[in-house]
């Protein structure tokens, strides 16, 4: 059982005990605790020292069969932090939580589970895993709580792990979880949800990149016609669709967004709002849950966006082309696109490469 120290995983562990499972708690340490004293949290993040204390406290209260604090700092830096830094260097926008779920929460955790001869890895995520008669395979699909659904964030985990996963909160609502936590007297019943990256507690990723030796120099801004119209503070400080942080000395009264980032030249190209919409994108490094050549479904292109109707075609074993029924705003290279069917089943996921 993945124990973050939050209310969701704590109630999930309680529910497993109620279902007569033997429960072994796993709590990952991704970065040194000292980071949280040097860089105070602006919003709640996971994996902090207080989370470790809460997870241990809950494990004791629920009388779990075992509890492990797992040090993954070295691997986490290699697979997650380095990916984060390198993606920004490439002028793209990363989503490290997707890879953390793939490699650690449902990768490393499964290795540890096998060492215990455990049958399942469980967590407090809001999504459903089930066997699909339609696709004749295990699938993941949206949880019933549309505001807490986390199917997008888990859409890049290895399909082969699905038979060994269990999500007890998939058919429940957040309000139910907090009510259960209060009823059984859990100290984390009203604990805020984690919102920011565990390795950047203050969410200042620009400062973080500088501390890792990624120097961001000022550069030029051009419009779509190739005219130099302003300056930026460094290409890594921007993402597609952004409007702030650019100084203009031409066209200052026109609403302009970051349209393209060219890291090799340290330049940014901007465009008016109406030019920021597109109907197609390419998805690479695709993770298939269900194999298909062409499907009409829905595509989500960032964590805070809705799925949009699209026709998705397989170009190669690891590449998809997505054609939207209606144009969507600010498609961002480096972000993940997740493909759903009409019932909320995740068909595939991959990295956007426009």
Helix (H, G, I), strand (E, B), or coil: what is residue 32?
coil
Whether residue 198 lies in the annotated active site: yes
Q: How many residues are given for the chain?
A: 354
From its phi and psi, is residue 148 left (phi > 0), alpha (psi between -120 and 50) or beta? alpha
Summarize the chain as % helix, strand, coil (round to 5): 30, 30, 40
**DSSP H helix total and E strand total for the chain:** 9, 17
Q: Is the distance from CB of 124 to CB of 9 less than 8 angstroms?
A: yes
* Distance from the first to the final alpha carbon of the chain: 38
Query: Known catalytic residue: 46?
Result: no
Check the annotation: does 7 bind a ligand: yes
Selecting among 46, 47, 198, 299, the annotated active-site residue is 198
The angle subtended at Cα 298 by Cα 294 and Cα 301, nearest 5°, is: 110
The answer to whether the CB of 93 falls within 8 A of the CB of 87 is yes
Neighbours of 167 (CB within 10 A): 24
Alpha helices (runs of H) in 135-282, residue ranges in sequence order:
174-183, 205-211
Does the annotation flag 115 for ligand binding? Answer: no
Any binding-site annotation on 336? no
Distances from the Cα of 42 to the Cα of 36, 97, 202, angstroms: 11, 18, 5
Q: Is 8 annotated as a binding residue?
A: yes
How many whole angstroms separate alpha carbon 105 and alpha carbon 77?
A: 15
Residue 123 assigned ligand-binding role: no
Q: Is 298 annotated as a binding residue?
A: no
Give the 3-state secondary structure of 179-199: HHHHHCCCCCCCCCCCCECCC
d(CA 43, CA 184) in angstroms, rounded, equals 27
Q: Does the annotation flag 9 for ligand binding?
A: yes
Is position 6 annotated in a ligand binding site?
yes
The one catalytic residue among 46, 47, 97, 100: 100
Ligand-binding site membership of 213 (annotated): no
**347 annotated ligand-binding residue:** no
Cβ–Cβ < 8 Å for 167, 127: yes
Give the span between the Cα atoms of 213 and 196, in whole angstroms: 22
Tell which phi-psi region holds residue 334, choosing left (phi > 0), alpha (psi between -120 and 50) or beta: left
DSSP 345: B
Could you list the residues known to form a binding site for ATP, using ranges: 2-9, 28, 124
Could you list the residues known to form a binding site, using ranges: 2-9, 28, 124
Q: Looking at the annotation, which residues are catalytic?
A: 100, 198
């Amino acid at each position: 059982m993945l124990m973050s120290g939050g209310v969701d995983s704590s109630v999930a562990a309680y529910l497993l005990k109620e279902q007569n499972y033997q429960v072994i708690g796993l709590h990952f340490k991704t970065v040194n605790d000292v980071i949280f004293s040097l860089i105070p949290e602006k919003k709640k993040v996971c994996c902090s020292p207080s989370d470790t204390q809460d997870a241990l406290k809950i494990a004791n209260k629920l009388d779990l069969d075992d509890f492990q604090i797992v040090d993954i700092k070295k691997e986490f830096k290699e697979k997650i932090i380095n990916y984060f830094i390198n993606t920004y260097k490439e002028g793209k926008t990363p989503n490290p939580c997707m890879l953390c779920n793939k490699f650690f929460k449902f990768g490393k955790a499964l290795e540890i589970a096998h060492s215990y001869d455990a049958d399942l890895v469980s967590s407090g995520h809001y999504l459903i895993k089930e066997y699909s008669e339609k696709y004749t395979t295990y699938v993941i699909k949206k949880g019933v709580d549309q505001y807490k659904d986390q199917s997008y964030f888990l859409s890049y985990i290895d399909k082969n792990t699905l038979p060994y996963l269990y999500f007890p909160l998939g058919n429940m609502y957040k309000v139910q979880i907090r009510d259960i936590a209060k009823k059984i007297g859990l100290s984390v019943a009203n604990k805020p949800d984690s919102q920011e990256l565990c390795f950047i507690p203050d969410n200042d990723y620009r400062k973080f990149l500088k501390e890792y030796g990624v120097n961001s120099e000022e550069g030029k801004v051009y419009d779509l016609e190739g005219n130099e119209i302003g300056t930026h503070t460094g290409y890594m400080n921007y993402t597609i669709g952004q409007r702030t942080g650019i100084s203009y000395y031409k066209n200052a009264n026109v609403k302009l967004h970051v349209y393209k980032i060219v890291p090799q030249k340290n330049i940014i190209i901007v465009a008016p709002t109406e030019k920021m919409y597109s109907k197609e994108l390419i998805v690479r490094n695709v993770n298939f849950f269900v194999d298909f050549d062409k499907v009409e479904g829905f595509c989500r292109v960032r964590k805070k966006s809705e799925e949009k109707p699209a026709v998705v075609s397989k170009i190669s074993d690891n590449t998809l082309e997505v054609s939207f029924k209606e144009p969507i705003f600010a498609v961002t290279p480096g972000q993940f696109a997740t493909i759903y069917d009409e019932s909320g089943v995740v068909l595939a996921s991959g990295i956007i490469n426009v």
